[in-house]
Each structure stands twice: as structure tokens, then as C-alpha cells.
Amino acid sequence: MNLIRPIYSGLLYLATPLAMLYLLKRAKKQPEYKEHWNERFGVAKYPKTQSNRVRIMIHAVSVGETRATETLVEAILKRWPQVDIIYTHMTPTGREVGRKIAQRYGNRIQQSYLPYDTPFGVKRFLKSVKPALCILMETEVWPNLTYYAKRMGIPLILANARLSEKSLNKGKKVRSLIKPAMERLDITLAQSEKDAERLREAGCDPVVVLGNLKFDFTPNLPQLRTGKELRKSLTRPLVLFASTRAGEEEIFLKQIKQWNEKAKQNSEVPPLWLIVPRHPQRFGEVKDLIKSQGLSLSERSEIRDWKQAFGKDGPVVILGNSMGEMNFYYSLADLAIMGGSFGPYGSQSVIEPCGIGVPLIVGPSIFNFEMAIKEADKASAIVRVENAEDAFTKIHELLSDKEKLNQLSSSALVFSEKMRGATQRTIEVIDEILSGGERGNKIS
């Protein structure tokens, strides 16, 4: 008998007070963490399945995973009118993105936090929600969730699955816990061949490579139109630092300050710099960092006259202190720098800017999106650099060469189109599982 899962469960029960303290600590910066506590600990009144309806559970931890589900959710609800969805999340920002998606489909999507992985919480949640299928996004394979889903006869799909070498090595340290959890999955749908190899080594079987769902995204057209119209007011190039993480802004701001001082000495007009932090709880922190460098600043939430902000006498830096507007920010940019790739974060997603056709510079840290970044690099759809200094050298080079910028933009669009199609391939797998009537819920 393998005792590792019961030991793991016991430790989770003991850690419950620490989880509460963690939520309170996070709530100091992000008050939303105080909400829906009962859902997190398995004592909530979870949304019931409507009679004569079939429910699919989609677990999308945070913002990136939730956004990756957009095309899949649309395809599921269109393909099966009798199917509803329950979204589960772990972060307030993921839940908020899910809420905006759910609004489009009336009452066909419900939301909840997934309980922490205790036997009590997981069992009560699954018995209340009664999903016909659980789709776990990207990397979220929890031992008790998979154990009790399997016991209840609920099929499990790990969709858009990825696993870095770093995560695989971490998993090997608790292999006796993680491997059985992976083995309980009915099928794993990997983003790339390398992901598939690592997932098989971790215990997943079968594994098929279907590509990355995120490439199937549809840009927010109103945001793109707004950005395109506002670009007409720009009197200087606009460089976007997209989804920046802690430690990166400070490095970038020092380079910006040096650039602007040199430009002033040479009577040149420097670019307008737009910084959009990844996490909203850091907006205030990044604002203080900008001010500490003595750089003039406008906040997106305070701008009323974009023509003035975009003029030669406008601010040195604009702080993008809003959520859900990345398409708008990308549409403003002549060139973007990818956050997360200049710190130990593995880069944020390059898929969205490539799909919009934004020339993009990516730093050395890429493990979260290794396949997409390496494929984009092969297709000359992005520019890769080793550090922030090289990035600013490349910014200067590209802004001085309109032809290179245009070629990068065109290559990004071609690359993005070539990578599409994972949503339809995933729907075919779901169809095969559900139409088998494993729980008597035959869908045709």
C-alpha cells in the first residue's frame, strides 16, 4: 500500500491554518483574496448541475490558463448545446478573467474556486458539482483531485499540457506522489514534442501532441481599433514593456533614464515608454519606482487627453495600470519587450503579441514558453537577446530601421497563423471521451 498520498493529505490538513494566514497576507495587497473562503476549504454551497444538463469542469488556475480556455469554451458550448461549464480557479485575477468570459454565455458557465487538495474538500466539491468530465489546464495535476475523480468515474484530461525540465526535476523529488496522479489522467494533450517527452517521463500515458490553445485566440477587435486610432496622435515611437515582473522594471528604468539623458544631450526625441506590470497589486510599487528615477509619469487610468500624452511634451513613461487591456497596449506599440524573460520567471506569453503582429524582443528566461519562443525564433518572428543592455541596443537598431520592424511584424503574423488549430483537435478528443457514455452521459 502506498502511504504517500495519506501522508500528503495529513500535511495539508495541518497546513490549513497556514493557508488561512497566507490568504490574509495576500488580501492586504489584493482584497479579493478575502472573498469565497468557503469554496477554498470545501465547505461552500457549490453550483448544482441543472437537470437534464451535462457539466464539464475546466480548471484554469490564473489569468494565463483562463485566457487559454477562451476558444475551447466557445467551441464546447457551440458543439454541445446541452453542455454547461463550471470554471474553477485558484487566484482572484483568474476568476475575474473567467467572469468576463462567462458573461458572454448567460447561465451556461458557473464559477468557483477549486478547494485546496484535501480529501474532504475535493470529495465534497466533486459530489456537489458532478462533472461528466474534468479538464485540467497546462500543469494542474493534484493527487487527491485525480484520485477521487478516478474513484467517481470522472474522466480526466490534462489539456494544453506543458512541463519544463525544471518542473520535471522538482516532481522527481516527490515521484511516489506525483507519478500516480499523472497515471490517473485518461489522456494528456501536450503543447509540443518536448513537453510530451517530459510528461511521459512524469507518468502521463497516453500523451498526444496537439499544439498550444493560446495560438487560437481572437484579438479584442474594439481594443485594436481604439489603439490604432490613438496611434495617429503619436509624435514619437512607443516602446511597450509587456507584463513585467518584480525586479525587471528597475533594470528597464535605469536604461530608460540613460537613453533619455543621451537623447537630451543630442537634442533628440526619445521614445515614449509604456510599462504594463503583470500583476495589478504591483501598480503602486512600479509607480514609485518610476518616480524614484526622476522620470515624468502618466497613469493610464488618469489619461483624459491621449494627444497630449503622446506629444513631445508628454510624459517620459506611461504606466499601464489597468487589467484586461493588453490588446489595446499591444496595438499602440511600435515595439514590445516581453516581461518575465529578463528575470527568473520563464517569460510571459509571446503568443498574443505575435498574433497581433507586434515586433517583439524576448530575454533569456523562457522556460514557461520554451517551445513557442524557440519556434518563433526559428521563424524570425521575434528577436532574442541575452540581457537588458542588449535589448536596448536592439530597440535602438529596430526603431532606426522601419523595414526590419515591418518584416518582424509580418513574420510574427505568418508564424501565429501557422500554429493555430489546437482547439479543434482538443474538441475531437473531448468528443471521443464523452460520446463513449462512460457515465451514461452520451453526447452526440
Cα-Cα-Cα-Cα torsion 263, 264, 266, 272, nearest 10 degrees, comes to 30
Catalytic residue chosen out of the listed positions 32, 35, 39, 65: 65
Contact by Cβ (8 Å): 43, 20: no
Residue 65 among the catalytic residues: yes
d(CA 214, CA 416): 10
Cell reading at 126:
466533486
Alpha-carbon distance 240 to 17, whole Å? 41
For 121, list phi and psi in degrees, rounded to 5. Answer: -65, -45
Using CA atoms of 420, 421, 423, 425 in order, give the dihedral in degrees to the nearest 10: -150
Sort 170 into a burial class: Cβ within 10 Å, 0-12 / 13-18 / 19+: exposed
Distance CA(177)–CA(247), nearest Å, equals 34
Question: CA-CA distances (angstroms) from residue 347 to 107, 231, 374?
Answer: 35, 27, 12
From the CB of residue 386, how many other CB atoms can be counted at a distance below 10 Å?
Answer: 10
Residues 6+ positions from 394 with CB-CB distance below 8 Å: 361, 383, 385
The amino acid that residue 55 corresponds to is R
Q: 164 phi and psi, to 5 degrees?
A: -80, 160
Catalogue the active-site residues: 65
